[in-house]
Amino acid sequence: MREGAVGVGEVEWARARELDASDPLAAARDQFGETPGDSVYLDGNSLGMLPRRSVARLRQVVEEEWGRGLVGSWDRWIDLPFQVGDRLGQALLGADAGEVVMADSTSVNLYKLAAAAVGARPGRTVVVTDRRNFPTDRYLLEGLVRGRPLELRLVEFDEVEGPTAERVRAAVDGDTALLSLSHVDYRSGAIADMAGISAVAHAAGALTLWDLSHSVGAVPIQLDRSGADLAAGCTYKYVNAGPGAPAFLYVRRSLQAEISQPIWGWFGKRQMFAMDEGYRPRDGVGSFLSGTPAVLGLALVEEGVLLLEELGIERIRAKSIALTSYLVELCDRHLAGLGFELASPRAADRRGSQVCLRHARAQAICRELGERWGVVADFRAPDRLRLGCAAPTTSFADLALAVERIAQVSDLGEGPSSPSPAGGAAGATERG
């Protein structure tokens, strides 16, 4: 393919090899499982790869702790929601001990937090969010306001650059109970100015709830310096904790005593094994627990966090910026003439760890890339191709190969399918 009309060319491959050779995180890839052949996985922002250490930990939890230790292992499991939450909070969120707990799914946590927030702002009638926020975030708020004396206000932000403090200032007022936004936009990857936006919301007397799903593990977060009140997020993307892994939630310490969530289960109760009459919540963030925690999943979150801690979130961010910057360059040089348009911020410090491209045939291209060329990316309606860069597992050569194949697929237009994937082997030799 080097010779083909749409190969990225030898100069590009040399550059990718150089970047990989000087990458201080290059060896991190060995800490993850293998993927088939010469495939390129650019979907770690949807499902992170399997860390090798997680296989061993899972065996320990299942075969030893459950299999042999049986119910007695609850002595060690019972603290996992706090232990793992603290570890994740301190390593990745800039939270203090006692501000983060692992629980349920992101959706259920957003519900609990949003319900708690509107309960803590009686008399205020408006909940504000981004019209283009991740769907579950919008749906949950829709469900929350239904049947309550509340209204959901959907704000239109720039679809590439995302929310800004200026636009938020025009959208919040003395009626606003809660502002709920994503830290990193799930499509464009735009990073919101958490501190600036939170300050605007607080000036109006509103609370803030941040969805960190697309930033945790990829973008350093300083919740305690950002003015965030509440936050939640998932761990199956950049934290590499596996499909449907437990989510986390954050409640700023100074807010914990005045806020109350609606799903009162035994794990959220003070002295849960007293099993007595009358619910009294635990002190602290533990009051946001409800049912029995998913032990296997929590162990995998812990392994994922430990691995990111070892690699270092600042080094991860540095490589992530290098990856997405190189990917934007590649797109400019090789895809701009093929109908693609950048749909992520151009400024590297305004981007999370993904690059989004707009193309009229994005859905077909994405399918073709995955099915026939082993390049795994995401289609996001209506016309976006989303390319995720997970710093611990993505190489610069991966990006060169992906762009080469995107160019090949797109160049074929809407005619018959591209040649068989066997041809991909030539591309593989160019990666080394």
Active site residues: 134, 211, 236-237, 386
Q: Report d(CA 408, CA 401) in Å as an integer.
A: 10
Of 314, 300, 320, which is closest to residue 44 (Cα–Cα)? 320
Q: Report d(CA 363, CA 384) in Å as an integer.
A: 8
From candidates 5, 36, 254, 414, binder to its own copies by CB under 8 A: 36
Does the footprint of its own copies cover residue 71 (CB under 8 A)? yes
Subset of 196-235 contacting its own copies (CB under 8 A): 234
- To its own copies, the closest distance from the beta carbon of 337 in angstroms equals 29
Length in residues, the chain: 432
In the chain, what's the furthest Cα-to-Cα distance? 76
Beta-sheet strand order (sheet of 207-211) = 100-102, 248-251, 230-233, 207-211, 176-182, 126-130, 151-155
Does the footprint of its own copies cover residue 156 (CB under 8 A)? no
Does the footprint of its own copies cover residue 150 (CB under 8 A)? no
From candidates 35, 83, 125, 164, binder to its own copies by CB under 8 A: 35
Q: Report d(CA 398, CA 395) in Å as an integer.
A: 5
Does the footprint of its own copies cover residue 49 (CB under 8 A)? yes
- Considering only the stretches 128-136, 223-231, 248-256, 309-317, report the one whose residues sit in contact with its own copies under the rule CB under 8 A: 128-136
Tokens of residue 212, six digits: 């960190």
Does the footprint of its own copies cover residue 79 (CB under 8 A)? no
Q: Are strands 100-102 and 248-251 parallel, antiparallel or unpaired?
A: antiparallel
- To its own copies, the closest distance from the beta carbon of 143 in angstroms equals 3
The residue behind tokens 């008399």 is 123
- 379: how many CB neighbours lie within 10 A of its CB? 18
Tokens of residue 227, six digits: 């003015």
Does the footprint of its own copies cover residue 278 (CB under 8 A)? yes
- To its own copies, the closest distance from the beta carbon of 264 in angstroms equals 3
Subset of 81-120 contacting its own copies (CB under 8 A): 104-108, 111, 119
Q: How many residues bind its own copies (CB under 8 A)?
A: 81
Does the footprint of its own copies cover residue 37 (CB under 8 A)? no
Q: Report d(CA 163, CA 240) in Å as an integer.
A: 27
Cβ proximity to its own copies: between 54 and 198 the closer is 54
Subset of 363-402 contacting its own copies (CB under 8 A): 370, 376, 380-381
Does the footprint of its own copies cover residue 67 (CB under 8 A)? yes
From candidates 19, 140, 160, 168, binder to its own copies by CB under 8 A: 140
- To its own copies, the closest distance from the beta carbon of 268 in angstroms equals 8
From candidates 23, 43, 130, 368, binder to its own copies by CB under 8 A: 43
User: Where does residue 128 rank: exposed (0-12), middle (13-18), buried (19+ CB within 10 A)?
Assistant: buried
CA dihedral 170, 144, 112, 185 (to 10 degrees): -50
